[in-house]
Chains A and B, each alone.
Chain A
Amino acid sequence: MRLKEPKPERRRSRNTAARTVWKRIIIVMAALVILGLAGTHLFSLITGNETLAMPEDAVASVLTPLQTGFSSVVDSVVNYLYKLKLRANLELAYNELKQQNEQLVYQAMLADELRYKLSVYEDLYDEISVNESMNPLVATVIGHDSGNYFSVFTINKGKNDGVQDYMAVTMEGALVGYTYNVSATKSSVRTIIDSEASIAALISSTRDQGTVRGTLGVDGTAMCRMYYLPDEHLPRPGDTVVTSGVVMSFPKGIPIGTVRESTRGMESNKSYIVVEPIANFRHIEYVIVLRYQPDAEAVAGQTSSSDSLTFTPLETSKPVPTIQIGSDFYQLAPTPEPTATPTAPPIDGSVLLTSESPLPQGTLSPGTQSYEYQVPSGMATGSEYGFTLAPTATPTPSPPPLDISVEED
């Protein structure tokens, strides 16, 4: 006897079989549809029958809008990503250009600085070249006095470099000051605008001699005043004031400044004229120390062993010359009477025979030989300020070797 299956089990197996059948039917139909579509496409390609192309046209008409929408979405996404990439590239390029610009700006600044230094060095070289006989030495300013009443600064040259007290310090063809408090490796420089400074000077046009003092401590201005001028002449504004070479170991002819105010004749109690310095005291970086020492051997043949004079600068900011009899450096000659107008001896080299210059006070005897400072061209020249350098007819002694030492940064 055959046992009957329980009803639920039979129904489940029947459902499973039916599902399998339906599944197969669907698969077969799908395969047939796809294969049919492919076949019609192939036949349409082979035969060229447009009727056979209808199914693919139908599929394409359904698919086209779908693909259009999808493509537009993809394109927008791609465009957005492209813009992001472009923006990133632009930012990258911007940053690179910005960095290059900063670098170029820095290089330009460096070039400007180097160009400025080069011009300074050129000026220094010119100044040194034309004043080799002054034994010049380039020094770098390493410190400034920050006071309001004194104007001094420190340079990086001292006794080891041959610097001594009361040597002239110039810049751009003009007198800046003189050295003092010289140590082995550094020196202090008192500028001509300092109230403590006192320099023997003369008016280049009239050859009147006097003493230039600073006014910084007097009225706080970076000016100079010139005292002890003869009463016979009244300097004109614009006249150049130069060093007279009297006292200290200063060369003659270093431009100090120009006469700015000359009201001495109008005001009876005014014993000075106002001199505006040529040097720019606000921008002092490099200076030249004129290690001016008269060459004893060069002048030995011209000197009298018993009648020559020697300057011995005093250890004071207001130098007073001391005349020694019997020095080998200078010839002793009769002191001429000061004349109203200076005589201009003929120019011959850079050596000046100061005996031709009028010396009203007789501080420097005639026949004393000194080197006169030559203002380099393009700087505070005498032509610019209306003076001419005092000429001399004596042969030029061989100058000491040029000593140019520039601090490197």
Chain B
Amino acid sequence: MVKRGLTFGLLTLLVYLLQATVAKHIALWNVAPNIALAMIAIVTVALGRKYTFFMALTIGYLLEIMLPALDYINLILLPACAMLGALAFSDKSERKLEEERSMGKRGGNLPAHIRTLLCALLSIAIFEIVNLFYIYLNGIVIDGDQLQRATISIVYTTALAGVMQFPVRWWLGTYRLKKAR
């Protein structure tokens, strides 16, 4: 537990540092990916909602105090988006699976790698929509350029989550656990 806790803490810190320092350098068409949400989606599927909550809140808090672009946005929106993704795509509990089975459904989880992609897609989509809504409420007309940037951000972040999930899951020991079974 201690080891996993340290690994998780280190990963959280690393994700924050990556988001704060690296994201701007890997921008495509001047659109930087949201590394934090991509990594949170990976953690959501690999470790569960509890870790998602801690990671999202910690990173949101750190971004809020270190990179305060907009008040409350990172602190509230990042955990909210992450938890919404976790609600939809994290591992279902045994009770939930039993409920589904009792209702005649198949009662299983989608493959983890696909759920990671979908979780990242959902999280970043909500994040971008809220951001667009926020700037719209501030009197800025939403045009095709902003929608295009939002789309690029969504696709880029989802693709980043799809690529990064393999080394991160390996680092977290997810593949070793599966092999042990």
Contact = CB atoms under 8 A, between A and B. Distances in A.
Interface SS, A side = helix
Interface stretch (B63-71, B106-114, B134-142, B155-163): B63-71
Given A42-B72, A67-B20, A34 B54 contact: yes
A287 to B, nearest CB: 67
Q: Is the interface of B mostly helix, strand, loop or mixed?
A: helix
A70 B50 CA distance: 28
A71 B21 contact: yes
B17 A70 contact: yes
Interface of B: 1, 5, 13, 17, 20-22, 25, 50, 53-54, 57-58, 60-62, 64-66, 71-72, 75
19 contacts: A19-B1, A23-B1, A27-B50, A31-B53, A34-B54, A34-B57, A38-B57, A41-B61, A41-B75, A42-B72, A45-B72, A56-B65, A59-B61, A59-B62, A60-B65, A64-B66, A66-B17, A67-B17, A67-B66
Given A34-B57, A71-B21, A42 B65 contact: no
A279 to B, nearest CB: 71
Given A41-B75, A71-B21, A35 B66 contact: no
Top 3 nearest A-B pairs (CB, nearest first) are: A56-B65, A74-B21, A71-B21
Select the residue from A26, A31, A41, A71 with max chain B CB neighbours within 10 A. Answer: A41
Interface string A54-90: 0010011001101100110011001000000000000
Contacts, number: 51
B3 to A, nearest CB: 13
Interface in A6-53: 19, 23, 26-27, 30-31, 34-35, 37-38, 41-42, 45
Nearest to A53: B65
A78 B58 contact: no
A41 B66 CA distance: 12
A34 B75 CA distance: 11
Contact of A41 (B21, B50, B58, B65): B65
B82 to A, nearest CB: 13
Contacts of B17: 66-67, 70-71
A19 to B, nearest CB: 8
A267 B53 CA distance: 122
A38 B65 CA distance: 10
Contacts of B53: 31
Contacts of A59: 61-62, 65
B57 A63 contact: no
A42 B66 contact: no
Contact of A74 (B25, B64, B66): B25
A78 B25 contact: yes
Given A56-B65, A66-B13, A71-B21, 4 more contacts: A27-B50, A38-B75, A41-B75, A60-B65
Contacts of B50: 27
A59 B64 CA distance: 12
A64 B62 CA distance: 11
A221 to B, nearest CB: 78
A37 to B, nearest CB: 6
Nearest to A68: B21
Nearest to A31: B54
A93 B56 CA distance: 46
Contacts of A35: 57
